[in-house]
Structure 1
Amino acid sequence: MNKSLTLYHGSSLIIEQPEFGKGNPFNDYGLGFYCTQTLELAKEWACSMEQDGYANRYSFCTDSLSILNLSDENYNILNWLSILLMNRRFNLSSDIAAQGREYLASTFLLPYENYDVIIGYRADDSYFSFASAFLNNTISLAQLEKAMFLGKLGEQVVLKSEKAFSRLCFEESIPAERTIYYPKKATRDSEARAASRAERKADPVRDAVYMIDILREEWKNDDARLRGNLPE
């Protein structure tokens, strides 16, 4: 992936020079600078109920950078979830959830901190609730996989290393009005949750695989049942 990308970062601020080592360490993939290649999504992420925001636009050269693309066919949804578990704060409301967290970390966690850039799905409010529900054994693996298609949140591109930060060049800041983009963000989330509820009713429980089944059967990273779970 040696090419130039156009990236957008949604924020309440104009950010001409992102600072390496600053930010929220409890985001999906840990400390980093979180971007998207989609302008409209950046505008949604920029706005809160109370204030407008900006989609900061950058050019980004990926030449010689190491990139972990979690949508690649070599990875599966449990790789994504195990990274999420290392960084986001989950409510482990059962022994199964606690054991599941430990097992996923020991079996499916990738060396994600070794990469300059991570590309993967964003665990917005709805996605995070789906991941938490699976860990707590209340939705199946198939339901979690299908939830990745819901809401159409798209991929985020996360700059992790100082080298990656050095390849980012600010172009402009594009205003985003909260009266337009906050309702869009809220609608996207509510539609994803509604679609998930409908999917749960349609999913046959008899053949479903849950977190407890993965623990009992000791699934491994090369299990054929996990191939191609993340949508491209």
Structure 2
Amino acid sequence: MILYHGSADIVEYPEVRKAKYNKDFYYGFYCTQYLKQAERWATRYGKKGYINKYEYISNPDLNCLVFEKMTEEWLDFIVACRQGISHQYDIVEGPMADDTIYNYIQNFIDGKISREAFWELVKFKYPTHQISFHSISALDTLKFIGSEAVYGNKK
């Protein structure tokens, strides 16, 4: 399987890094199957970025969690991760809570909308995909193929 990672840098050797904010599936190295999504990640600040390309070879010995679609379990998992609760998975894969969906999640966490309202709001969102790598063994499933420069359009 080919995966993409959008970044401001060429990332030949992926790393798991702690970030300022917790992400959907907690701290990890994030990729996607969708080239356009990686391009959005790479150019999100309106500057030159890179789409890094990897061959992913799954390892059945790793502890993986896969969400085929947005479900109650997916929502609860993202809420926990965004609140700083870690997990023991090597790899987590599933839909991405983009900026709009993240706002809905935050409203749900804050009690501003119900669980039912959350599902009503997200049902028309376009498909997204992310796969996050949370351990050295998980990163070993990725083989760097190359990168391509892409350019943002913000001034």
TM class by shorter-chain length?
0.7 to 0.9
- Partners of 1:36 and 1:73 lie apart in 2 by 16
Q: Specify the alignment match of 1:177 in structure 2.
A: 151
Q: Specify the alignment match of 1:39 in structure 2.
A: 35
Change (3 A) 1:14 1:128: same
Change (3 A) 1:46 1:73: closer
- Give 1:20-169 correspondences, 5 Å limit: 21-24=16-19, 26-64=22-60, 65-71=62-68, 76-87=73-84, 113-152=87-126, 154-169=128-143
- Measured after TM superposition, the shift of residue 13 of structure 1 is 0.7
Structure with the higher strand share, 1 or 2: 2
Unaligned stretches of 5+ in structure 2?
none
User: Larger RCO: Structure 1 or Structure 2 (Cα < 8 Å, ≥ 6 residues apart)?
Assistant: 2
- Partners of 1:39 and 1:73 lie apart in 2 by 21
Structure with the higher helix share, 1 or 2: 1
The residue identity in structure 2 corresponding to 1:70 is F
Aligned residues: 152
- Partners of 1:56 and 1:84 lie apart in 2 by 25
* Structure exhibiting the larger radius of gyration computed from Cα positions: 1
RMSD: 2.5
Moved over 4 A (4+): 72-75
The residue identity in structure 1 corresponding to 2:110 is N
Unaligned stretches of 5+ in structure 1?
88-104, 106-111, 183-232
**1:24-61 deviation digits (Å, cap 9, x = unpaired):** 16222222101101001100111134412111010011
Kindly, what percent of the aligned residue pairs are identical? 28
Q: What SS is found at the alignment partner of 1:76?
A: helix
- Partners of 1:28 and 1:82 lie apart in 2 by 8
Q: What SS is found at the alignment partner of 2:39?
A: helix
Contact kept in structure 2, 1:118 and 1:158, CA below 8 Å: yes
- Measured after TM superposition, the shift of residue 71 of structure 1 is 3.2
Q: What SS is found at the alignment partner of 1:114?
A: coil
